[in-house]
Structure 1
Amino acid sequence: MPHIELGNPLPGLPALLRYRPETAGPLSALAETLLRGPGPLPRGERELIAAHVSSLNECRFCDASHSACAAVQLPGGDDLVAAVHADPGAAPVDDRLRALLRIAAAVQRSGRDVTPELVDAARAAGADDVQIHDTVLIAAAFCMYNRYVDGLATTAPDDPRAYRAMAERLTTEGYASL
């Protein structure tokens, strides 16, 4: 049960966006830009980074919703996302994405945990500076979103089909539709 009366039955972030339309626009625009806007990382990889950080933060709603978004956009689908959650070092992703996931995990712990060695390893694996930048920004933003969603104790559906339906809508209509 949410800590405050949100006045709507929606789960997770959509409930908070509906509650405060004044902040909904900028928060939705940021998510749209980071996860769907032009950039060098494929959309599925961006969603996987968001899901990975959300999983590390134990944010059930954001983990499940962004895992579903990643799964519908990446070859390997749910199995790939589960493998990344279980052990990103052994998951069947390329070395570039593996290095970016390491950077995202460092950001989740603390921005200061992103070391020159992690950045150099990402570059050596084929990541460019914009991909590294975008990874850090996605990870940082999802720490904020996760804390927003969990800090107000929003609800999260138990049925995985609810997240699949969200993913289908978000990947076609985008985050501005929240």
Structure 2
Amino acid sequence: MALRPETAKPLNELAEALLHAPNSLPQGDRELIATYVSYLNDCYFCQTVHGSIAAACLNDDHELVKRVKVDFHGADISEKLKALLVIAAKVQKGGKQVSANDIEAAREQGATDMEIHDTVLIAAAFCMYNRYVDGLDTWQPRDEELYRQRGKKTAQEGYVSMSREYLPAKAPEVGAQS
């Protein structure tokens, strides 16, 4: 993202709005949705960093994050989150895969229309983020502890705040030569 600060800013703001801002869906659940979609897309960086953020929101329960990735139906999560993960997985395959029955099943488990909307948007956005990260062959360290430290900090501070570590204070003007 540091290569194009003018695009990094709105991407970080979108992540902030979807995953960190106040919402009726807990931050840990939203991060689990992002993690699961990233897992389905085989994006190591995103599934690992967002899994660490989710774990930080869930009392450092990294085992739960792993269970959600491999078998969320058997994981100790709410039925509402399971229904939302069904929707997220279908969005990952293609938006038209989501059926009226999927939406109704989520509503029956207590999901609001806004939570369903946000689930769809998180899933769709993470398909883009995953392709962006992998398409640029982004450096992806294999040290889990690095992700855990970053996850704790991001869970507390948010995406926009964390982006200040690698983005310039002011984005260069579009079209400016460096």
Q: Give TM-score, length-normalised by structure 2.
A: 0.88
The 1-side partners of 2:65 and 2:156 are apart by 20
Deviations 1:91-127 (A, max 9, x none): 1111100000000000000000111011010011111
- In the alignment, the residues of structure 2 paired with residue 60 and residue 100 of structure 1 have an alpha-carbon distance, to the nearest angstrom, of 22
Task: Give the TM-score normalised by structure 1.
Answer: 0.88
Q: Which residue of 2 aligns with 1:110?
A: 94
- Unpaired runs of at least 5, structure 1: 1-16
Runs of at least 5 residues in structure 2 that lack an aligned partner in the other structure: 164-178
Choose the corresponding residue for 1:34, options 18, 34, 54.
18
Paired residue for 1:47, among 31, 36, 42? Answer: 31
Q: Where does 1:31-110 land on structure 2 (aligned, <5 Å)?
A: 31-75=15-59, 77-110=61-94
Q: Which amino acid aligns with 2:34?
A: A
Q: CA RMSD in A?
A: 1.0
**Which residue in 2 is equivalent to 1:170?**
154
Q: Report the CA distance between 1:76 and its aligned residue.
A: 6.8
The equivalent residue for 1:13 is none
- Partners of 2:59 and 2:103 lie apart in 1 by 26
Offset of 1:173 from its aligned partner?
1.7
Point out the structure with max Rg over C-alpha.
2
| Alignment partners' CA distance in 2, 1:44 and 1:18 | 26
Identity %: 51
Runs of 4+ in structure 1 deviating by more than 4 angstroms, as ranges, are none
